[in-house]
Amino acid sequence: MKVLVLGAGVIGVTTAHYLRRQGAEVTVVDRQPAPGLETSFANGGHLSFGQALPWAAPEAPLQLLTMAGRRDAPLRLAARWDPELWRWGAKFLRNCTPGRYRANANVLRKLAAHSRTCLGELMAHAPALKFDYQPQGVLTVFRTSRVFDREKARVADAISDQAGKAGNADHAQDPERVLTANDCVHAEPALGHARRAGKIVGGLLAASAATGDAHQFTHGLAEICKNAGVEFRFGVTVTRLRRVGGAITGAETADGFMEADAVVLALGSHSPLIARTVGVVLPIIPVKGYSVTLAISGEATSGDGVPRLGILDAERKVVMAPVDGALRAAGTAEFAGYDQSIDPIRAQAIARVAQDLFPELGPLPDAPSDLNPWAGLRPMTPDGPPLLGSLPASYGCTNLYLNTGHGPLGWTLACGSAKLVADWVGGSPPDDPSGTSFARFA
Ligand SMILES: Cc1cc2nc3c(=O)[nH]c(=O)nc-3n(C[C@H](O)[C@H](O)[C@H](O)COP(=O)(O)OP(=O)(O)OC[C@H]3O[C@@H](n4cnc5c(N)ncnc54)[C@H](O)[C@@H]3O)c2cc1C
């Protein structure tokens, strides 16, 4: 079977890998000159196994209201009259009830646990794949008792919820561990300074989580795919899908028509633009985020000044991870359409959070460009889980598959999502796809 994978981000490349392993003839198309150059390029580096949660949460509406106006806030809603954004927003708000939050969190946890297993198998199958993988875990630190208490209750809730349900045992076996502020320093000595300054009240440790470099992973896996016979067509822009009756026959590109027996849509935030060419309206919007990559001074490296674990600052909503001898910090949710420009104030605000927790990093550079700022567009669904697998029957189209809408968790969920979608294309859909299929919005 000839399968066309549209997009060579972390999602498209992992999909190509699993499809090829199943024996499919795979071609991957991307407009960039190499894999992983858009949202999969300089993300936060967290593999958030054991702590994959939706943004649509009971506290989210209030956070939206209180933060939306500030230029250095972790969240920015540009006031725009965009009916799609407002429709998406209404769906997002409907998913903020405790019941919906819990259901969506369960879907994400299950997919993340599957992804962790798949990544483990992939690493065993391809030991040459190097991506600065650090399996020591991720520590969420809290600055206020109010948020810490709320999150402790959430963890207790999740454990009792999971323990009672067959098939969801992964999380119950591997819950986040509640730590006091002193325990946090024990787990991550680089937090000593912040603890002494009274900046942290406690933490949650996800021991199954890990960190690494998503771009290196995507690039390395693409090389493995190439050696296994996957064809990559870089520098080729897809303009539309071609549909004849109930089937997609291929994709129109700037380089001409590419024919296929099946097409997997893995264009990240751009998936809705191409899906629309065959009348499919996907509930995905781009949500811009930033990262900075801070050089680590000699002094900080030699002491305990730089974190070894992945860190999430719960209140400031910034993730941090050691990546290739530097410290990556990422955050911000900006609802600004497809604009990818970098606002230096936002990049600096993220860097300041890292420096506030880890002052031994030394003073931040004066020039914003020395922070190595980067911006990417998270492909966000309103409820959190991605869109995987075939279209609902009402579309009457059987050979277009989705692997898109992974929002803030694309790298975490990549291997599990790709394996599920490859199985689907190969004729073995999952037993219960309800939480991740497009049909949930139909
Ligand atoms: C600031 C930030 C921090 C993040 N931190 C984390 C984290 O710590 N952990 C985590 O798991 N996730 C994180 N994410 C999310 C994660 O990076 C994304 O979910 C993931 O990269 C999405 O991958 P993708 O392959 O779907 O999209 P992309 O990587 O964007 O790939 C889509 C590809 O499609 C191509 N394309 C688009 N349109 C066309 C077209 N018309 N023709 C041809 N090619 C096209 C693009 O060139 C691109 O290569 C973060 C995201 C951001 C923005």
What confidence tens digit (pLDDT) does each residue in 359-380 have? 988 888 888 889 999 999 999 9
Question: Do 56 and 21 share a structural domain?
Answer: no
Q: Which atom of ligand 1 is nearest to the CA of 291?
A: 1
d(CA 405, CA 209): 21
Bridge partners (DSSP) listed for residue 46:
211
- Whole-prediction pTM value? 0.95
Mean pLDDT of 191-196: 95
Question: Do 432 and 298 share a structural domain?
Answer: no
Cα 91 to middle of ligand 1, angstroms = 22
d(CA 396, CA 416): 27
Residue 169: per-residue pLDDT: 47
d(CA 9, CA 379): 12
**What does each C-alpha distance from 81 to 58, 69, 78, 197, 198 come to in angstroms?**
25, 17, 9, 44, 43
Residue 68: per-residue pLDDT: 65
Question: Do 293 and 395 share a structural domain?
Answer: no
CATH number at residue 433: 3.50.50.60
Query: Pocket of ligand 1, candidates 116, 119, 236, 267: which has the most ligand atoms within 8 Å of its Cβ, to mutate?
Result: 267
For the chain, percent of residues with pLDDT exceeding 90: 80
Q: Decide which of 347, 380, 413 is a domain's last residue.
A: 380
Cα 321 to middle of ligand 1, angstroms = 18
Mean pLDDT of 153-174: 66
The answer to whether position 366 is within a domain reads yes
Span of 6-20, 225-239, 265-279, 336-350 with lowest mean pLDDT: 336-350
Closest to 200 (Cα-Cα) out of 210, 190, 208, 215:
190
For the chain, percent of residues with pLDDT exceeding 70: 93
The answer to whether position 115 is within a domain reads no
d(CA 299, CA 278): 57
Residue 171: per-residue pLDDT: 47
Query: Confidence class of residue 156 from pLDDT cuts 50, 70 and 90?
Result: confident
CATH number at residue 320: 3.30.9.10
Cα 43 to middle of ligand 1, angstroms = 9
Q: Which atom of ligand 1 is nearest to the CA of 330?
A: 1
Asked if 335 contacts 285 with a C-beta cutoff of 8 angstroms, the reply is yes
What range defines the domain where residue 228 resides?
2-41+215-284+383-441
Instruction: Kindly give the interhelix angle for 145-163 and 98-125, rounded to the nearest 10 degrees.
Output: 70
d(CA 352, CA 368): 12
Query: Confidence class of residue 349 from pLDDT cuts 50, 70 and 90?
Result: very high
Cα 40 to middle of ligand 1, angstroms = 4
**Residues in the chain, total:** 442
Residue 165: per-residue pLDDT: 60
Q: Which atom of ligand 1 is nearest to the CA of 332?
A: 1
Question: Do 291 and 165 share a structural domain?
Answer: yes
Query: Pocket of ligand 1, candidates 38, 133, 216, 320: which has the most ligand atoms within 8 Å of its Cβ, to mutate?
Result: 38
Question: Do 310 and 265 share a structural domain?
Answer: no
The residue that leads in pLDDT, 278 or 169, is 278
Question: Do 145 and 70 share a structural domain?
Answer: yes
Query: Pocket of ligand 1, candidates 318, 411, 413, 417: which has the most ligand atoms within 8 Å of its Cβ, to mutate?
Result: 411
As a whole number, the mean pLDDT across the chain is: 92
Structure tokens of 365? 């550079």
Mean pLDDT of 121-136: 96
Mean pLDDT of 227-247: 97
Asked if 251 contacts 307 with a C-beta cutoff of 8 angstroms, the reply is no
Distance of CA 352 to the CA centre of its chain: 23
**Given a cut of 60, is residue 5 above it in pLDDT?**
yes
Torsions phi, psi of 433, nearest 5?
-85, 5
**Given a cut of 80, is residue 111 above it in pLDDT?**
yes
Q: Counting beta carbons within 10 angstroms of the beta carbon of residue 359, is it exposed (0 to 12), middle (13 to 18) or buried (19 or more)?
A: middle
Residue 83: per-residue pLDDT: 87
Question: Do 204 and 223 share a structural domain?
Answer: no
Q: Decide which of 380, 408, 433 is a domain's last residue.
A: 380
Question: Do 279 and 362 share a structural domain?
Answer: no
Bridge partners (DSSP) listed for residue 104:
none
Torsions phi, psi of 438, nearest 5?
-65, -25
**Given a cut of 70, is residue 79 above it in pLDDT?**
no
Cα 11 to middle of ligand 1, angstroms = 8
Cα 218 to middle of ligand 1, angstroms = 11
Residues near ligand 1 (Cβ within 6 A): 7-12, 29-32, 37-40, 43-46, 48, 237-238, 266-268, 270, 274, 289-291, 319, 330, 376, 378-379, 404, 406-412
The answer to whether position 121 is within a domain reads no
Residue 303: per-residue pLDDT: 54
Question: Do 225 and 203 share a structural domain?
Answer: no
Query: Confidence class of residue 50 from pLDDT cuts 50, 70 and 90?
Result: confident
Number of domains the chain is built from: 2
The answer to whether position 123 is within a domain reads no
The answer to whether position 125 is within a domain reads no
The answer to whether position 116 is within a domain reads no
The answer to whether position 113 is within a domain reads no
Q: For the chain, how are helix, strand and coil distributed in percent, rounded to 5?
A: 40, 25, 35
Mean pLDDT of 226-246: 97
Residue 302: per-residue pLDDT: 47
Question: Do 271 and 252 share a structural domain?
Answer: yes
Question: Do 190 and 149 share a structural domain?
Answer: yes
Mean pLDDT of 99-124: 96
The answer to whether position 126 is within a domain reads no
Question: Do 309 and 220 share a structural domain?
Answer: no
Closest to 268 (Cα-Cα) out of 84, 85, 407:
407
d(CA 390, CA 246): 13
**Given a cut of 90, is residue 66 above it in pLDDT?**
no
Query: Pocket of ligand 1, candidates 5, 37, 39: which has the most ligand atoms within 8 Å of its Cβ, to mutate?
Result: 39
